[in-house]
Structure 1
Amino acid sequence: MLALNAQDIHMQQRAASKQEAIKAIAGLLTQKGLVEAGYQDGMLAREAQTSTYLGSGIAIPHGTTDTRDQVKHTGVQVFHFPDGVDWGDGNLAYVAIGIAAKSDEHLSILRQLTRVLSQDGVEEQLKKVARAEQVVAILNGETTGAQALIFKPEMVLSGFPASDMTTLQAVGAGLLKNHHCLNNEGVSQLVGGSPIHLGQRHWLLGESEGVEQTGVSVVMPATSFTHQAQRVSALWCLAANNGAHLPVLKTLTQWKADEQLAACVSLSPQALVNACSPEASTDASTAIASTDAHGKVTDEATKEGESGTFTVTNSHGLHARPGAMLVNTAKKFHADIQVANASTQSASVNAKSLMKVIALGVKHGHQLHFTAQGADAEQAIAGLGNAIKEGLGEHA
């Protein structure tokens, strides 16, 4: 399996543009005997087709499928740019991972990077690193400062038979403990805490003591009850030891401003988690756009949705370019779109997140199963099917 090593990291590099950076990386790949000189043209051509910037200060320049014959040995060379390099659209790359791959050996690195990109503080760490070993640790997700938010559909519990706030707090704390976010001390602190009223029957309770990982749970009672003269329809519990929970607070704040908090209880657990994720691709209110002016869920929001299963015919599966094409297609639609790798029986992920799509590890011949909910769900499934059939920007 291809892996990142300290000897492949080149610190304190400078480049006036991403093209200059790519040429320098291609030159080193050639010097190391990994590629022929013509591979540089493929790397520049790939960048002209689709940006290889992934996020969090990381870019992955690599060649086109037409220049795979220029690869002699699979490998990587990593440049660290402490001042950053403009990679387009205002994105600064502090680390560029130049990839030379004969087939799909590099997918292990891409899958690892998708996990790192979802963590908090990665870009800031990459700005400050001084040693190659530190870069490897960050990119491998081994640093304690980079921690992802733990918020999964199974941490959203609706219809719970509770008639008092203390019961909701205990259930919310239990969900967080079960997902290794709170220890016993944290559970006690959360259960004994005092929730604040956000408005529209939603309450918020946070805890920073006894936190092992930053996480969120949501508990909704089967029947709304009264607490401190205010009704209760949902309790949001936060366990935080870093800033990974901030996107959730931002989403709640926006929903409150848009007077849509009441409507979000009608979202499926998966849709609720997606709407609060750091990489949510649309405005937070989009997820509950299918509500009328009074917060009542419309017929469109209660539909079961559409689904479709399609076979990926790309020779090298969903690497960066076809993956980006798939995600860009999904983003054209307002529907909440989930995708799973049916061939490996993976869990469903947000089809509008490049990080999560690449992490599915889709290879040639694998089947992708899509589900979509929303007013344009049928068009979304049809559009994704056509895009896959046409090769996602590559010859099938």
Structure 2
Amino acid sequence: MLKLVKSDITLSQKATDKFEAIENIAQALTEKGLVKQGYVEGMLNREKQNSTFLGNGIAIPHGTTDTRSMVKTTGVSVHHFPNGVEWGDGNKVFVAIGIAAKSDEHLGILKQLTKVLSADGVEECLRSAKTEQDIIALLNGDVQLEADFDAAHIQLKFPASDMVQMSAVAGGLLKNTGCAGAEFVADLVTKTPTHLGQGLWLVGSDKQVTRTGVSFVSTANDCELDGEKVRGLVAFAACNNAHQPILKTISTLVFNNEHNKLLDASAEQILALLKGEEVATDADESGNNAIFKIKNAHGLHARPGAMLVAEAKKFESNIRVANLDGDGKTVNAKSLMKVIALGVKHGHQLQFSAEGPDAAQALESIGNAIASGLGEG
């Protein structure tokens, strides 16, 4: 686990272009004793091969496999550019994280960083950071930018007979996942939820909340509140504004009269829907799924990861991928942040599913790209 300290952060940097920025970062890595003289050439060559821009105002310049032997100790140097640096293709970087890593040690760093930095709003937070501690808090994930919401926050077809039971279960999910305490649950069951239409209800509380989170409960029984049908309940535990994007998504669904997209969805589809991601359907029925083993000696670091994402982006179909040797969660295969966050190492198996007019061709093409080594063959 990467643990940043103040000496890893350099504030108030300026650079005319990304190559000057990379040279300065390489010098910092050298002065810290992490790499030998000359590592900068590997970093510059790597940038020329494929951009190290990740998205959200972040880049991760690092060396090539040829210069890995020049790494003395795994570590990073983080440079903050409050005015930004042009990183090509109209992308602007506010924080560049120079990485020096032996073997596949950098995959853990990348996985940690990308999970933290994929949240909405992180770019503005990084741009406006004032101190080393501000940067450290953001990169370590200490600043909550999006609400906690995963499979542990969902309970489908619970045999509830009334709304009090629904609220108790929804509150319990948030309590059990560390978002709130017992006072939150007690407060939630006393509140009257708001009916959003078609049996979808909304409730929330800020009592004894430590992290903002969202839960969803649907009922297996026919029950009512004030003469209105109860089919599903969304509950919020709020201590900041991290839940606003999910609230906005729900508002859009209600405005478009698309309640059933949420009420009839699977747990995986609910997660994707409320997080604003593409909602996958069951691709198994059409056979548009495949499993491929990663051949790359150092796993899916930034360059092969970018090649994989570029291959997926060639196709119109919705393409999702899961690391069967990781946590098994599916992500958008067209997002470099999401793909790198899978932490894919040599020999890991990736399961792809595709839905769309060119799904079969997409899977075949992705398989061929992986077999050829994703630019490292």
TM-score band, normalised by the shorter chain? 0.7 to 0.9
Deviation at 1:373, TM superposition (A): 6.2
Which residue of the partner structure matches residue 322 of structure 1?
304
Which residue of the partner structure matches residue 327 of structure 2?
346
CA distance in 1, matches of 2:103, 2:229: 58
What are the residue-to-residue correspondences of 1:160-239 with 2, within 5 Å? 160-239=158-237
CA distance in 2, matches of 1:36, 1:172: 56
**C-alpha contact (below 8 Å) 1:3/1:109 kept by paired residues:** no
Deviation at 1:88, TM superposition (A): 4.3
CA distance in 1, matches of 2:150, 2:163: 22
CA distance in 2, matches of 1:87, 1:230: 54
CA distance in 2, matches of 1:226, 1:302: 36
Which residue of the partner structure matches residue 261 of structure 1?
259
CA distance in 2, matches of 1:375, 1:241: 43
| Structure 1 residues 74 and 244, CA gap change in structure 2 (3 angstroms) | same
**C-alpha contact (below 8 Å) 1:199/1:256 kept by paired residues:** yes
CA distance in 2, matches of 1:232, 1:379: 43
| Structure 1 residues 217 and 107, CA gap change in structure 2 (3 angstroms) | same
In the alignment, structure 1 residue 150 sits paired with structure 2 residue 148: yes
Deviation at 1:255, TM superposition (A): 2.3
Which residue of the partner structure matches residue 77 of structure 2?
77
Deviation at 1:348, TM superposition (A): 1.9
In the alignment, structure 1 residue 368 sits paired with structure 2 residue 350: yes
Identity level (%): 48
| Structure 1 residues 311 and 132, CA gap change in structure 2 (3 angstroms) | same
CA distance in 2, matches of 1:70, 1:20: 21
| Structure 1 residues 136 and 159, CA gap change in structure 2 (3 angstroms) | closer
Aligned partner of 1:249: which letter?
L
Deviation at 1:70, TM superposition (A): 5.6
CA distance in 1, matches of 2:149, 2:287: 23
CA distance in 1, matches of 2:206, 2:284: 37
| Structure 1 residues 241 and 329, CA gap change in structure 2 (3 angstroms) | farther
Which residue of the partner structure matches residue 290 of structure 2?
308
What are the residue-to-residue correspondences of 1:39-58 with 2, within 5 Å? 39-58=39-58
3-state DSSP of counterpart to 2:95: strand
Aligned partner of 2:305: which letter?
G
Aligned partner of 1:112: which letter?
Q
**C-alpha contact (below 8 Å) 2:180/2:211 kept by paired residues:** yes
CA distance in 1, matches of 2:95, 2:209: 31
Deviation at 1:388, TM superposition (A): 1.5
Aligned partner of 1:320: which letter?
A
Aligned partner of 1:327: which letter?
V
What are the residue-to-residue correspondences of 1:239-254 with 2, within 5 Å? 239-254=237-252
Aligned partner of 2:87: which letter?
W
Deviation at 1:269, TM superposition (A): 0.6
CA RMSD of aligned residues (A): 3.1
Aligned partner of 2:251: which letter?
T
Deviation at 1:339, TM superposition (A): 0.3
Deviation at 1:216, TM superposition (A): 1.2
Which residue of the partner structure matches residue 20 of structure 2?
20
Which residue of the partner structure matches residue 59 of structure 1?
59
TM-score, normalised to structure 1's length? Answer: 0.81
1:14-67 deviation line (CA, Å, top 9, x unaligned): 123323312322344455562443x44443443344332234432211233354
Which residue of the partner structure matches residue 390 of structure 1?
372
Q: Mean alpha-carbon deviation: is it higher for 108-117 or for 226-235?
A: 226-235
Listed as ranges, the gaps of 5+ residues in structure 2 are: none
| Structure 1 residues 309 and 323, CA gap change in structure 2 (3 angstroms) | same
1:228-279 deviation line (CA, Å, top 9, x unaligned): 343332211111212222221222223233332213333221122022226x
| Structure 1 residues 395 and 134, CA gap change in structure 2 (3 angstroms) | same
TM-score, normalised to structure 2's length? Answer: 0.85
3-state DSSP of counterpart to 1:308: strand
**C-alpha contact (below 8 Å) 2:152/2:177 kept by paired residues:** no
| Structure 1 residues 121 and 23, CA gap change in structure 2 (3 angstroms) | same
CA distance in 2, matches of 1:3, 1:174: 32
Which residue of the partner structure matches residue 136 of structure 2?
136
| Structure 1 residues 8 and 172, CA gap change in structure 2 (3 angstroms) | closer
**C-alpha contact (below 8 Å) 1:338/1:349 kept by paired residues:** yes
Deviation at 1:96, TM superposition (A): 0.9
Deviation at 1:182, TM superposition (A): 1.9
3-state DSSP of counterpart to 1:19: helix
**C-alpha contact (below 8 Å) 2:317/2:354 kept by paired residues:** no
Deviation at 1:184, TM superposition (A): 0.9
**C-alpha contact (below 8 Å) 2:18/2:85 kept by paired residues:** yes
Aligned partner of 1:43: which letter?
M
CA distance in 2, matches of 1:224, 1:45: 63
